[in-house]
C-alpha cells in the first residue's frame, strides 16, 4: 500500500471517525470537573496526620488560635496568617508538607483565605474516624493476634 493511501488517500482514512473527548474527565487534573476540595489519597493521609498533630498541640485552644487570625472579625482568616500562627506554635513533628496540603485542601478555590469555622470543622472531620475506618482498624488489630 502506498504512503499516499495511508494519509488520506484511502477510503479507510476517509471513513475513520475520530472520537474526541469533549466531556471533561473526572480523573484529569485541571479539568473543570475536578473539584477544588478533591485531593489524592496520599494528600488526604497527610491532611489527617497534620490535623491530628495540630489538634493535639493546641489541646482545645484551636478555635481561639484561628479566631486570633481574623483581624476584621468577619469569620475569614488569611491562609498566610494561619500558616504563620500554626508555625509559630512549633507543633511537634508537623511537616511543612502536611501543613501546606492541609491549608490547600481547606482553601476552596485557592482564594488565599479560609472560613475560620469551616477550617475548624475540617480539622475535626479529618481527626475523626469513620465507621468503616474503625471497623478496618479493629479487623487489622484482630488479625495481628
What sections of the chain are H helices per DSSP? 3-4, 11-15, 41-58, 62-68, 79-88, 96-106, 116-127, 131-144
Q: Is the pLDDT of residue 122 over 60?
A: yes
Q: Is the pLDDT of residue 95 over 90?
A: yes
Q: What is the pLDDT of residues 9-23, one digit of tens each?
A: 444 444 444 444 444
Q: Is the pLDDT of residue 115 over 70?
A: yes
Cα 106 to Cα 121: distance, rounded to the nearest angstrom: 10
Q: What is the per-residue pLDDT for 145?
A: 65
Q: What is the pLDDT of residues 37-65, one digit of tens each?
A: 578 889 988 999 999 999 999 888 889 99
Report the CATH number of the 41-127 domain. 1.10.238
- Contact of 91 with 57, CB cutoff 8 Å: yes
Amino acid at each position: 500500500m502506498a504512503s499516499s493511501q495511508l494519509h488520506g488517500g484511502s477510503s479507510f482514512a476517509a471513513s475513520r471517525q475520530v472520537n474526541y473527548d469533549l466531556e471533561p474527565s473526572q480523573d484529569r487534573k485541571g479539568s473543570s470537573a475536578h473539584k477544588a476540595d478533591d485531593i489524592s489519597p496520599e494528600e488526604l493521609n497527610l491532611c489527617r496526620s497534620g490535623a491530628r498533630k495540630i489538634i493535639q498541640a493546641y489541646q482545645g485552644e484551636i478555635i481561639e488560635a484561628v479566631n486570633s487570625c481574623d483581624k476584621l472579625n468577619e469569620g475569614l482568616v488569611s491562609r498566610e496568617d494561619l500558616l504563620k500562627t500554626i508555625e509559630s506554635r512549633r507543633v511537634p513533628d508537623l511537616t511543612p508538607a502536611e501543613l501546606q496540603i492541609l491549608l490547600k485542601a481547606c482553601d476552596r478555590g485557592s482564594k488565599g483565605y479560609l472560613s475560620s469555622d469551616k477550617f475548624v470543622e475540617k480539622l475535626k472531620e479529618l481527626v475523626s474516624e469513620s465507621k468503616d475506618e474503625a471497623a478496618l482498624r479493629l479487623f487489622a488489630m484482630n488479625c495481628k493476634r
